[in-house]
Structures are given as structure tokens and as C-alpha cells.
Amino acid sequence: MRRSGMQFAIIIITCAAVSAPAEARPRLFRAIGALAAAPVAIIAGAANARARHHRERSVRAAPVSRRAAADIRPQARGAAPGWAGPLFWPHASVDLFDYVFGQSGGAERFWSYGYDDLLDGMFVTASIPDERPWGPRAATRVAETGSAQPTTPWQSMCGQTAPQIEALVERIRTRLQTAPEQNVALDAVRDALVQADAKIAKACPDAAATAEATERIDMMAARLIAMRQAASLVLPSLRKFYAMLDDKQKALFDGVDPDQTAGANATIRASAGLCAEAAVDGNWPTAKIARRVAPKGEQLADLERLRLTSASFGQFVTTTCADTAKNPIERLETARKRVNVIRYAVTHVSPALDQFYGSLNGTQKARFSSLGR
């Protein structure tokens, strides 16, 4: 796919800004904004060939689906697979720690989230049309406990239940045949998992959260920040526990689901490739925006700035789709870096979205927020 020189420059500056010292970043991001705000006539040639949504392609091309088979997705037209109502990343806690601890389907589900979910947050009305149940996500899921308080379907996806976390820890304990002193350290991991899950659940949107594009993106950023903090909470206790294991226990702990062969570790690394399949520019709904939102005047310049900023950070996120982790410690560190990369992109695309969205009238905003892709 050919790129214009200007768009290539934006990508290069963006990647440089990520690795630059903190004091140099504002100057680099001002350069990105200046390029992105260039007259539309100059950068019109940057439009790229349209491509089908990468989720559809990954289902056909990959040996595993974009979400695990047990992940029930809303079937209504216009629903976003990475969203449930205003909630980004349903079952984030389960996906994160199933990947870290090598549970069945965890890698596929964790790596299936990426920059396209930000596009969904901007363009797809995040709503669930009915009260359909959402099923188990992975091997660690056990029977849900009842609740006396009514909740929306997506509110039940904000975190795990205590039995789920306990089931995961007991599975590790049984598999590794831990000694008494190791059990003390494993219990500390369990306590950290409980705190981490509470951190993720706390980032759940309010039941009255609206579905405007700018608010969805803010809630997406909050969810990713919580996931990064959750990973940081678990890391110290997990490192201590891992250091207490002998070589045989480490070999067992390093692998994926105990019911699978050791060779299945290759599946974990291969799953990272799913997130690299997004044709970021091709997913930008240029024709739909022109037809349904009909931006005019300065709105066109703001929209082009949003598109170019989105494309540059989308390319950056795609280049980070690599998983070489060989054990739970490395997988947890990889997961923390991955969610932070997506969070970084969301944070820097958000101002461009705010500027364009703020220039729209009420009718245009409604149409923009429900474009659907």
C-alpha cells in the first residue's frame, strides 16, 4: 500500500515522539499537529485503498477466531465486537490474566484487541439491543454468583468474580504441586489478582453513560489505564512466587493451558499477529462521512487532521504487535506494555477527535457517532 510523503513523515515523527525524552515530546507532537492540519488539497493524495475490516479477514485466514469461540458477541447490525454498550474490552480482567497464565484461548483474545477498537469507539454506536446473556470466556470461568441488584448486560462484564480468581489460583497450585512456603507466595498472587480485578472493575462506566464518540474514547482510555495499573499490581508478587519455583515447576508454569501440549506455546506467539492485520487507513469511512455527516469549511480541515493523526498512531500500534514472552512474568510485562501502547494512541488521537466533533452541529454529531463500519 502506497503512502504519501506527508503521511509517512507523520508516522516517523510519531514513532520518534514515543521514544523521545519527556521534555522533547511536546515539540514533536506539535509537528504532528502541524502536518495533520495542512490544507486538504495538499494531502488529498494520501487516501489509501479501502480494505475490508480486519476482523472479517482474520476469521477466514487465522486458525483461531478473532475472539475465542466461547465469546458471544452482539449480533445486531452496527455493534462493535470490542465494545459492550459504553464498556470497552468486555471481560478485560479475564482476558488479561488468562493470557498471562497461559489459559486456553487467552492469547487469542488478548491480542485480538488493537487500534481498530478505537475506530469502533469513534464510529460505531456502542449499544446492546437486548438482554441476551454473555457466556463463559475461558477455562477459568466458573458459575456466576447471583446478584440482588439488577445490572445491564455490560455491567456484568466489568470484572471477574471471586470464584473465578480462586479457580485460576487453585489450578496453578494443583498443576505445580506447590510446597507450603510456595503456597504462601501464591496466596499473595491471589490477593494481588483480587486487587487488580477491582482496579479494572472500578473503571466500568456508569450505568447512565452516554454513547457520544468523545465520551466513549475517554472511557476507553480509562479502561486501558486501569488494565495497566492492574498488571503493575500483580507483577511484584508474581515475580516473588516465580523465583521460588524449581526448574520443573517453572517449565510447567511457563507453558500454556496444561491440557495442551508444550508446543502450543507457538500459538501464543502467533496470536500476536492477529493484531497486525488491521488495514488502518482502509478502515477509515471516508465515503460514509462525506455522504452522511457532510462536513463543510473548517470541518473538512479538522476531519483531515483527525484522519491523519488516526492513521499515524494506528500504524504505530500495528508495529508493536510482537509477542516473544516465554513465561508468565514476561507475558505480564508484555501485556502491560501492549495496553499502554493502545492507551498512548487513544490519548493522542482524542484531541483531534474533540476538535472535529466539537465543530459539528447536533445532527452531524448523531450521524458521526452511528456511522457503523
Confidence of residue 319 (pLDDT cuts 50, 70, 90): confident
Amino acid at 248: K
pLDDT value, residue 31: 54
CA distance 226 to 199: 6
| 233-244 residue pLDDT tens | 999 999 999 999
State the average pLDDT over residues 7-11.
Answer: 52
Residue 302 near residue 359 (C-beta atoms within 8 A): yes
State the average pLDDT over residues 76-93.
Answer: 74
What is the full DSSP assignment across 60-117? Answer: HHSSS-SS-TT-----STT--TTEETTEESTTHHHHHHHHHTT-TTHHHHHHT-STHH
pLDDT value, residue 123: 82
State the average pLDDT over residues 100-129.
Answer: 81
Question: Who wins on pLDDT, 184 or 63?
Answer: 184
Strand pairing of 83-84 and 87-88?
Answer: antiparallel
pLDDT value, residue 132: 32
pLDDT value, residue 83: 84
Indicate if the pLDDT at residue 25 is higher than 70: no
Other beta carbons less than 10 A from residue 206's beta carbon: 9
Whole-model pTM?
Answer: 0.72
Cα separation values, 58 from 219, 233, 267, 277, Å: 27, 33, 15, 7
Cα separation values, 106 from 111, 213, 309, Å: 9, 29, 31
What are the φ and ψ backbone dihedral angles of 359, each rounded to 5 degrees? -85, -10
What is the Cβ-side half-sphere exposure of residue 81, based on CA atoms within 13 angstroms? 19
pLDDT value, residue 156: 79
pLDDT value, residue 369: 79
| 243-302 residue pLDDT tens | 999 999 999 999 865 444 444 444 444 555 566 655 444 578 888 899 999 999 999 999
pLDDT value, residue 272: 57
Burial class, 22, CB count within 10 angstroms (exposed 0-12 / middle 13-18 / buried 19+)? exposed
DSSP state of 44: G
pLDDT value, residue 181: 97
What is the full DSSP assignment across 110-147? Answer: HHT-STHHHHHHHHS-----S-------STT--PPPP-
What are the φ and ψ backbone dihedral angles of 83, each rounded to 5 degrees? -130, 155
| 127-178 residue pLDDT tens | 443 333 333 333 333 223 333 344 567 777 888 778 889 999 999 999 999 9
Q: What percent of the chain has pLDDT over 90?
A: 40
Confidence of residue 342 (pLDDT cuts 50, 70, 90): very high
Looking at 118-127, 291-300, 346-355, which range is the least confident one?
A: 118-127
pLDDT value, residue 96: 95
Question: Who wins on pLDDT, 350 or 147?
Answer: 350
pLDDT value, residue 321: 82
pLDDT value, residue 324: 84
Average pLDDT taken over every residue of the chain: 73
Indicate if the pLDDT at residue 199 is higher than 90: yes
